[in-house]
A and B are shown apart, each in its own frame.
Chain A
Amino acid sequence: MQLTPDWRLIGKLDHSVSDSSLGEFYAGGYTEAVVGYAYRPVRNDRLNALVKYTYFYNVPTTGQVGLQNTAAEFLQKSHIAALDVNYDLTANWSLGSKYAYRMGQESLDRVNPSFFDNPAQLAVLRVDWRFLKEWDGLAEVRTLNLPDINQRRRGALAAIYRHISKNLKAGVGYNFTDFSDDLTNLKYNHKGVFLNLIGLCDGRLASLGSGHAGVQPLFRRKMYWYQDFSVHFRFLRLLSI
């Protein structure tokens, strides 16, 4: 596949193994492999798209294991494909959408895993509004379809962000749904207030790309926010600790 200036390729591979002197029952494992292909046309910076494939394999450690060899968290093997598209309607309004499909298998028994299918489809529609000088707001509607158990969950999410500096913005929001838009996350405890911190990293990449610290004119056209690093806090989780 030929890469053009409009495209960008990203990849991630996290792998962990844990062995115990007590035997395999107490061992754990984790693999997350991600390949993404991002599309941002050079001549039309209103459009941004990202196609992403994720392979996820997780064997929870015994610290998360309950009685009778069953895990507090599912053993999980998943293939997840996702498509994200964002389009800037005007300087202050953007539309976004996300569709993801999980071809997943789970098991509760870690000694003799008996995997069962757990596919899922996620669809998200989002609108972003940049108001005043340093404020952003967003609203989303989400639906999660779990065909094997004939279940469909719907809801919304809203958040407001304040630009703290040129490279950092912080926000607070409320998730009215109990599921995550990360399909590797099988928990339904996401409802509630959350804090989010998002960093902007264009300067770093500009200096790497151009060979000098000056920012190319292309960067000046528009300020883009990335979730190169993003910190999430959910009050419900903090309270439960």
Chain B
Amino acid sequence: MRMGYGLTKMQFSSAIEYRRDNAEQLDRTHTETTTWLFRNNFKFATDARLAPYRQAGPLGQ
């Protein structure tokens, strides 16, 4: 699930991912793996007219 919110001077976005794996092994037993991933981004500028900065990094590769 992803969601974002933008105000005049502020942006926020967030994402949650859930994954559950059930894998059968060679001996026919099952192993379960549960993974949660949370992603959050935030930007704030006092002057809304400002273009965002030109990101100086990462430089090249």
Report yes or no: A19 in contact with B46, Cβ–Cβ below 8 A.
no
Contacting A at CB under 8 A, from B1-58, are: 6, 8-9, 11, 30-58
Contacting B at CB under 8 A, from A197-228, are: 201-202, 205-206, 208-211, 216, 218-219, 224-228
Report yes or no: B33 in contact with A173, Cβ–Cβ below 8 A.
no
CA distance A66 to B61 in the complex (A): 28
Report yes or no: B35 in contact with A196, Cβ–Cβ below 8 A.
no
**Known contacts A18-B35, A209-B9; A181 and B60 CB within 8 A of each other:** yes
Report yes or no: B61 in contact with A209, Cβ–Cβ below 8 A.
no
Residue A239 lies at the interface, judged by CB distance under 8 Å to chain B: no
Report yes or no: B54 in contact with A181, Cβ–Cβ below 8 A.
no
Report yes or no: A226 in contact with B35, Cβ–Cβ below 8 A.
no
Residue A149 lies at the interface, judged by CB distance under 8 Å to chain B: no
Q: Which of A38-46, A69-77, A101-109, A110-118 contacts B (4 or more CB under 8 A)?
A: A38-46
CA distance A219 to B31 in the complex (A): 54
The interface size bin for chain A is: 35 or more
Distance in angstroms from B47 CB to nearest chain A CB is 4
Contacting B at CB under 8 A, from A140-154, are: 140
Report yes or no: B61 in contact with A180, Cβ–Cβ below 8 A.
yes
Report yes or no: A182 in contact with B51, Cβ–Cβ below 8 A.
no
The count of residues in chain B whose C-beta lies closer than 8 Å to any C-beta of chain A is 36
CA distance A209 to B6 in the complex (A): 9
Name B33's contact: one of A8, A18, A224, A225 (CB within 8 Å).
Answer: A18
Report yes or no: B61 in contact with A98, Cβ–Cβ below 8 A.
no
Contacting B at CB under 8 A, from A1-59, are: 3-5, 7-22, 26, 28, 38-40, 42, 48-50, 52
- The residues of B that contact A175 with a CB separation of less than 8 Å are 60-61
Residue A82 lies at the interface, judged by CB distance under 8 Å to chain B: yes
CA distance A126 to B40 in the complex (A): 30
- The residues of B that contact A49 with a CB separation of less than 8 Å are 56
Distance in angstroms from B6 CB to nearest chain A CB is 5
Name B50's contact: one of A16, A18, A40, A211 (CB within 8 Å).
Answer: A40
CA distance A238 to B60 in the complex (A): 19
Name B51's contact: one of A9, A190, A196, A219 (CB within 8 Å).
Answer: A219
CA distance A33 to B59 in the complex (A): 20
> Chain B: residues with CB nearer than 8 A to chain A?
6, 8-9, 11, 30-61
Q: Can you list the 8 inter-chain pairs with the closest CB atoms, starting with the nearest?
A: A84-B56, A209-B48, A5-B47, A38-B53, A11-B42, A84-B57, A18-B35, A9-B44
